A and B are shown apart, each in its own frame.
Chain A
């Protein structure tokens, strides 16, 4: 028992560190792919690391209207994403899933968002308020969608612990595949795009002030605080990719301690995350950002998909 807990904690910490370490690279790769599509050379895939390294050494400026919320938010962001990273299976199903299940994961990400949105409103700038308001509009629909999509998988596997969902799917194989899985998958993928401020919901590359959502909230940040906020957001993207990969297609993930299994697990997750990153880059290159008030259509569609997924599990 104690050994189990230790083992799980060890791998959880290892996976969390890996995710934090890899997340800038994934963002760098997406940017590179997008650059190719735009016939540009693009910056190096290591550029996000250079940005972080530089920003972390810089001093910051802060609005004099801002309160302690702005100063505390970057650390709270890293802390909440960090705890989530301990609970999400990455290359192995050994993780701290028993400390918090998928509901905890979703609501810890809500903690991150809660403070980020407050920080956006803190300085009293119009852009910050605009970003905050829009972020809450998007997340009000996306959060339940995400919850329902993962609930579908929880109901199929009979557990709400993320690592156990991966484990039982990976061990049982395709027998557990139901139509609900695909509905939930589609809903979750839209949530992934929306929650991580990607096209068609938001444009991560924009600095055109009236279209910003995510960037609008971070507008007042600089230096170390900006670095932490960016890093937390990038890691959040990787976390979503990991959930998508390991909850819906966990095959390949390491379910035991054998060296071979671990190696396969590492390769499998890197391959899956790269595929997701490529898909995101393709979508961003191929589609344009939606007008803000056309977004609700897309988001409610994904919500309905998720609801249908849960319902089809109950009824079928």
Chain B
């Protein structure tokens, strides 16, 4: 841990700094100009949209270039510092910042291309200039969150990001359900920010500086209990943004409510901003890692993963399903982060590096496949104008390219080899299995449980993926809207296509990508494990005796066997003659109502996990005059959210009760309020003389 602050401090690459600075300035200026132009041109929807999307795309390219330079060559100082009352405000990019910037820029570029086609939908209904302007500024706020170097500057950027994303969620404000979702998000994110603010101010108070680099260097002056308090507050604060259970409830409401391109950004990228700050805070700013920090995160992560995937299984709204799957994947990411902290607290730095690499790699994979899936959901929405999967079906024939892209995203999400999602989950399993040599009984019990929950989550995620694809894209259309669905315009397909290719690249070329992620993790932990991690095209966890894997070879072998089988069947059995007929129907013509729905598909699992789902079924039967002939059967299925029922409801009741008590002093007379202000001022003067 001693070397850990080196990443933040060595900011002296003057020569390279100049050219990085120009890239960074270009990024900011283009985004600002883009936002301004989009707003000015808002009357001309098409022009405004094109300007905003191009600005985002160009800045994303510049940002990606900058990020790659930082990952390869080390941290840079970007731009002059601004002296303020709260110390110098500077922007700089360390390696971990570079890694997340690259993630942001990659997704942003794809979303920009996609949005060109997607946003046409809103012409005449919602303001194009507003969307374009907000998109540019949101990108800017993400970049500032990653690169700000001062607590106050960071908090401003963080707040900017939260408010801009809130405005983007509210973009379709006239639609039913959007406003409550937006409000919930606004409240939760501010509760989170409050915790972060308190924690950071505590840290600043003890170290006497608002600069992150000074805090990282001066952690020793923070007392142990205060560090623990800071940890808990940061966990709650950033956990809220990351969709950690039990402060996740806003995420499945707000992410689906936003336009799909924004959902992709929020689920793919914005939740990762919480991750980068957690990694920085827990490894760099708060001094030596405590074991219980890791255990807490590991436990919460395991529960988040299971709760997320179980909820994803019950949803029939395609975007809510994906949002819950974000909760699940963030849970998986937290399992990795927790494991890494535990290893680090025992001084097993190589293992900690492995777990951190798995965490960071899964974050990247999740960004790619989740953005892809939300964009795919946007295309489906674009084509069918519904989010209800029970009204879909048969889209694979009507939207072949979209369905192929979504299938690839789902395969990566279900951790199917040799895609990216599998490689990161494989690394995660390996790092957990390596924990066998930690001599603490509590850890020895919790780690196997985490392994079991991770395995269970993986299997349930596959079920969720199958259910999603099967219900949305396969079988016969269940409604006229699905019947009339059409393939998306080319720009949307290009945006998704690139991400789909990335899912493969991240898996097949993981042996080439992992050393760079190791670079990033080394800047945090001070230990590089590339030589043990990668050998040619083989990937192995620290010790190649323990295990090795080669995703590229797996793919080659699979394709080889597939080709061989095809050839042999062709040689032996002759030409494939396939006669198209009706589906086997037992003699009664099949309609769309004979098909399995999403609800039906997951109903056995809902039954198994009923203690968690708290589901209630209601079957009402209406009879005709005769009690033997049923006229209509109504089937209702309701779920109780245990977090809502046992945590949020009581909390809200409590707060309302307290507010009512306090309302006594709210007399409404202006004299009274002036008196309160005066008393408060006096008190403050007395206390802080």
- Given the interface pairs A61-B581, A63-B581, A143-B459, the reply to whether A75 lies near B566 with Cβ below 8 Å is yes
Interface segment, one of B345-353, B449-457, B651-659: B449-457
- Given the interface pairs A133-B596, A307-B449, A315-B444, the reply to whether A155 lies near B436 with Cβ below 8 Å is yes
A45 within 8 A of B: no
**Which single member of A104, A125, A137, A307 contacts B590 (CB below 8 Å)?**
A125
Q: Which of A96-115 contact B (CB under 8 A)?
A: 96, 98-101, 103-104, 107-108, 110-111, 113-114
Total count of chain B residues near the partner, CB < 8 A = 86
**Which single member of B429, B574, B590, B608 contacts A124 (CB below 8 Å)?**
B590
A310 within 8 A of B: yes
Assess whether A107 is in contact with B416, with CB atoms less than 8 Å apart: yes
- Given the interface pairs A79-B558, A98-B538, A133-B604, the reply to whether A140 lies near B460 with Cβ below 8 Å is yes
Assess whether A314 is in contact with B605, with CB atoms less than 8 Å apart: no
Cβ–Cβ < 8 Å partners of B458 in chain A: 107, 143-144
Q: Nearest B residue to A65 by beta-carbon distance?
A: B476
A151 within 8 A of B: yes
- Given the interface pairs A124-B583, A151-B433, the reply to whether A99 lies near B557 with Cβ below 8 Å is yes
A122 within 8 A of B: yes
Cβ–Cβ < 8 Å partners of A270 in chain B: none
A300 to B583, CA, bound (A): 35
**B-contact 0/1 string along A18-52, CB 8 Å cutoff:** 00000000000000000000000000000000000
Cβ–Cβ < 8 Å partners of A113 in chain B: 462
Cβ–Cβ < 8 Å partners of B462 in chain A: 110, 113-114, 136, 139-140, 143
B225 within 8 A of A: no
Interface segment, one of B35-43, B464-472, B615-623: B464-472
Cβ–Cβ < 8 Å partners of A100 in chain B: 417, 549-550, 554
Assess whether A75 is in contact with B466, with CB atoms less than 8 Å apart: no
**Taking chain A's interface residues, is the majority helix, strand, or loop, or is none over half, making it mixed?**
helix
A161 within 8 A of B: yes
Interface segment, one of B174-182, B377-385, B391-399: B391-399
Q: How many A-B residue pairs have CB under 8 A?
A: 265
A10 within 8 A of B: no
**A-contact 0/1 string along B403-414, CB 8 Å cutoff:** 100000001001
Interface segment, one of A80-88, A171-179, A242-250, A278-286: A80-88
Q: Nearest A residue to B569 by beta-carbon distance?
A: A224
A71 to B109, CA, bound (A): 35
Interface segment, one of B15-23, B362-370, B540-548: B540-548
Q: Which of A217-250 contact B (CB under 8 A)?
A: 219-220, 224, 228
A197 within 8 A of B: no
Assess whether A103 is in contact with B426, with CB atoms less than 8 Å apart: yes
Cβ–Cβ < 8 Å partners of B81 in chain A: none
Assess whether B607 is in contact with A59, with CB atoms less than 8 Å apart: no
A67 to B474, CA, bound (A): 7
**Which single member of A99, A136, A220 contacts B466 (CB below 8 Å)?**
A136
**Which single member of A108, A129, A300 contacts B596 (CB below 8 Å)?**
A129
A108 to B411, CA, bound (A): 11
A58 to B561, CA, bound (A): 22
B511 within 8 A of A: no
Q: Nearest A residue to B454 by beta-carbon distance?
A: A144
A314 to B458, CA, bound (A): 22
Cβ–Cβ < 8 Å partners of B436 in chain A: 155, 313-314
Assess whether B475 is in contact with A144, with CB atoms less than 8 Å apart: no
Cβ–Cβ < 8 Å partners of A75 in chain B: 562, 565-566
Cβ–Cβ < 8 Å partners of A136 in chain B: 462-463, 466-467, 601, 605
- Given the interface pairs A61-B579, A75-B566, the reply to whether A141 lies near B459 with Cβ below 8 Å is yes
A264 within 8 A of B: no
B679 within 8 A of A: no
- Given the interface pairs A63-B583, A311-B448, the reply to whether A129 lies near B595 with Cβ below 8 Å is yes
Assess whether A124 is in contact with B582, with CB atoms less than 8 Å apart: no
Cβ–Cβ < 8 Å partners of B595 in chain A: 124-126, 129
**Which single member of A82, A111, A228, A315 contacts B416 (CB below 8 Å)?**
A111
Assess whether B538 is in contact with A133, with CB atoms less than 8 Å apart: no
**Which single member of B417, B448, B473, B580 contacts A111 (CB below 8 Å)?**
B417
**Which single member of A79, A155, A311 contacts B433 (CB below 8 Å)?**
A155
A307 to B456, CA, bound (A): 11
Q: Nearest B residue to A113 by beta-carbon distance?
A: B462
Cβ–Cβ < 8 Å partners of A66 in chain B: 583
B430 within 8 A of A: yes
Assess whether B562 is in contact with A79, with CB atoms less than 8 Å apart: yes
Cβ–Cβ < 8 Å partners of A61 in chain B: 578-581
**Which single member of A99, A148, A303, A315 contacts B554 (CB below 8 Å)?**
A99
- Given the interface pairs A59-B577, A161-B547, the reply to whether A310 lies near B451 with Cβ below 8 Å is yes
B559 within 8 A of A: yes
A56 to B572, CA, bound (A): 7
A56 to B581, CA, bound (A): 20
A197 to B293, CA, bound (A): 44
Cβ–Cβ < 8 Å partners of B550 in chain A: 98-100
**Min distance, Cβ A40 to any Cβ of chain B, angstroms:** 28
A73 to B581, CA, bound (A): 19
B445 within 8 A of A: yes
- Given the interface pairs A64-B582, A124-B476, A133-B600, the reply to whether A160 lies near B459 with Cβ below 8 Å is no
Cβ–Cβ < 8 Å partners of A124 in chain B: 393-394, 474-476, 583, 590, 592, 594-595
- Given the interface pairs A68-B396, A114-B462, A124-B474, the reply to whether A224 lies near B576 with Cβ below 8 Å is yes
B585 within 8 A of A: yes
Cβ–Cβ < 8 Å partners of A86 in chain B: 557
- Given the interface pairs A155-B433, A159-B545, A314-B445, the reply to whether A130 lies near B596 with Cβ below 8 Å is yes
Cβ–Cβ < 8 Å partners of A118 in chain B: 466, 469-470, 474
A65 to B460, CA, bound (A): 27
- Given the interface pairs A114-B466, A311-B448, the reply to whether A160 lies near B579 with Cβ below 8 Å is no
B251 within 8 A of A: no
Q: Nearest A residue to B441 by beta-carbon distance?
A: A315
A232 to B499, CA, bound (A): 32
Cβ–Cβ < 8 Å partners of B628 in chain A: none
Cβ–Cβ < 8 Å partners of A123 in chain B: 475, 583-584
B603 within 8 A of A: yes
Assess whether A104 is in contact with B426, with CB atoms less than 8 Å apart: yes
> Could you name 17 residue pairs across A and B whose Cβ atoms are closer than 8 Å?
A66-B583, A98-B548, A100-B417, A101-B549, A108-B554, A110-B462, A114-B411, A114-B414, A125-B583, A126-B595, A143-B458, A144-B456, A151-B433, A160-B433, A293-B607, A310-B452, A313-B436
Known interface pairs A63-B583, A64-B580, A124-B474; 4 further A-B residue pairs with C-beta atoms within 8 A, sorted by A's residue number = A110-B414, A125-B585, A129-B595, A293-B604
**What 3 A-B pairs come out closest when comparing CB atoms?**
A129-B596, A124-B475, A144-B455
